[in-house]
Amino acid sequence: MNEHTERVRRLQERLLQLQIDGCMITQNVDLYYFTGSMQTGYLFVPNEGEAVFFVRRSVVRAEQESSITVESLGSFRSFGERLADVYRSLFHAAHSRNLRLAAEFDVLPVQQLKRLEAVLPQVDWVDGSLLIRELRMIKSAAEIGYIREAGRVINLAFEDALDKLRPGMLELELMSHIETYVRRAGHIGIMRMRGYNQEVITGMIGAGEAAAMPTYFDGPAGGQGLSPASPQSASRRPIAANEPILIDIGCCIDGYVIDQTRTVVIGTLAEDLLQAYEHSEQIIRSVESKLLPGTVCEQLYMHSLQMAYTAGLSDHYMGYGDDQVKFLGHGIGLEIDELPVLAKGFSYRLQPGMVIAIEPKFTFPQRGVVGIENSYAITDTGFEKLTVSREGLIQL
């Protein structure tokens, strides 16, 4: 049994437990996760029996890539009849009751759901978003291997960029050096996010007050960006000496992302900013000591809040003012914003196979952002740090 069929099997197990008849998967990343192909179509997973990937385009490529049986979708108007024919025993039950089918409500457009309702009138649709995200939360050894490789590549790009960094260089120039390096090394060119209206480029590079500029991006440091049309990450601002340079970057290898942050300064950093950076390292070291199977995610976040409070830095922790974010870390994998989240209300216990980015940072308006971020795989006995770039305040 390959990874994709095993993932389908685990999904079917959960569908049976929840008394759901099947699941309709439509989002690109979820299609890739379950089939190995990202062609346009509908993957139907019954709670028992064979899953089928009904592909609109390109059927030829899907047949080459998919581990799951592929059939041409044909006319969408007849999709309901087609499903009823392929899954006769399942749809026979619809004569006496409506079928319960799950879909990814967090990413499925309302218009598309309405189309599915029209061709499948005998179905009660339920939200399967959490079901799928929880399955994806536990990574296989192969998935962790891709993230490990992304960590290796981004470290090489980071060191190459440090060699080029000079006072007066634009943030955009520094980012372009990193992007060029990782693209040549196999970065697919995008880092996907699941959240509505959330986007990320290759990460965020910001120097001085530009890094501390608040923006819509759900993170402690958004960056100024090139214009209001892209209000995040690197700008055309020159990088100066003696100011914090936040290099929060990632890389995506075969669909899987790494997430890391390092703080750099050309010269020296003001004493209070230096102390704040040192507190970020103290937080991440303390949290590392608690990265054990069974630890509750919420407790890690609350622990970090207490440490920031004790240091007298609560007002600057993970943003500033109304723009503070309410988390310490997040799952990563095929998307940047996966489960689990290290935040209040998240009662997930750490399990082997989870991969989490942990990012304690401090924001100082008009001055900059300092902090560190590493990505970790939870193991049977603790963790493996997948981020390999050197730590500590990097002074050039």
Q: Using CB atoms within 10 A of its CB, is residue 77 exposed (0-12), middle (13-18) or buried (19+)?
A: exposed
pLDDT surpassing 90 at residue 93 = no
Same domain? 95 vs 200: no
Determine the pLDDT at residue 218. Answer: 86
Are 113 and 144 contained in the same domain?
no
Choose one of 74, 108, 136: the last residue of a domain. Answer: 136
Domain check: are 106 and 243 in the same one? no
CATH value at residue 87 = 3.40.350.10
Domain boundary among 136, 171, 197: 136
276 and 348 fall within a common domain:
yes
Q: Please return the burial class of 56, using the count of CB atoms within 10 Å of its CB with bins 0-12, 13-18 and 19+.
A: middle
179 in the same domain as 30: no
**High-pLDDT (> 70) share of the chain, %:** 99
Instruction: Assign residue 193 the CATH number of its domain.
Output: 3.90.230.10
Range of 103's domain?
3-136
Q: What is the pLDDT of residue 94?
A: 67
Taking residues 303-329, report their average pLDDT.
Answer: 97
The tokens for 232 are 């995040």
Domain count, the chain: 2
- Structure-token pair, residue 94: 């619809």
Is 144 found in the same domain as 108?
no
Give the least confident one: 155-164, 219-228, 346-355.
219-228
Same-domain status, 15 and 28: yes
Last residue of a domain, one of 79, 113, 136: 136
Residues of the chain with pLDDT > 90, as a percent, come to 94
Q: Residue 221 pLDDT > 70, yes or no?
A: yes
Whether 163 and 301 map to the same domain: the answer is yes
Report yes or no: 388 and 151 within 8 Å, Cβ to Cβ. Answer: yes
The mean pLDDT of the chain is 96
pLDDT at 97: 87
What HEC string does the chain produce? CCHHHHHHHHHHHHHHHCCCCEEEECCHHHHHHHHCCCCEEEEEEECCCCCEEEEEECHHHHHHHCCCEEEECCCHHHHHHHHHHHCHHHHHHHHCCCEEEEECCCCCCHHHHHHHHHHCCCEEEEECHHHHHHHHHCCCHHHHHHHHHHHHHHHHHHHHHHHHCCCCCEHHHHHHHHHHHHHHCCCCCCCCCCCCCCCCCCEEEEEHHHCCCCCCCCCCCCCCCCECCECCCCCCCECCCCCCEEEEEEEEECCEEEEEEEEEECCCCCHHHHHHHHHHHHHHHHHHCCCCCCCEHHHHHHHHHHHHHHCCCHHHECCCHHHCCCCCEEECCCCCCEEEEECCCCCCECCCCCEEEECCEEEECCCEEEECEEEEEECCCCEEECCCCCCCCEEC
Q: Are residues 291 and 213 in the same domain?
A: yes
- Band of residue 379 on the pLDDT scale cut at 50, 70, 90: very high
What does the pLDDT read at residue 381? Answer: 96
Sheet holding 40-46, edge to edge: 69-72, 52-57, 40-46, 22-25, 99-103, 123-127
Residue 97 sits in the same domain as residue 147: no
Q: Are 190 and 297 part of one and the same domain?
A: yes
pTM above 0.85, yes or no: yes
Let me know whether 64 and 142 are in one domain.
no
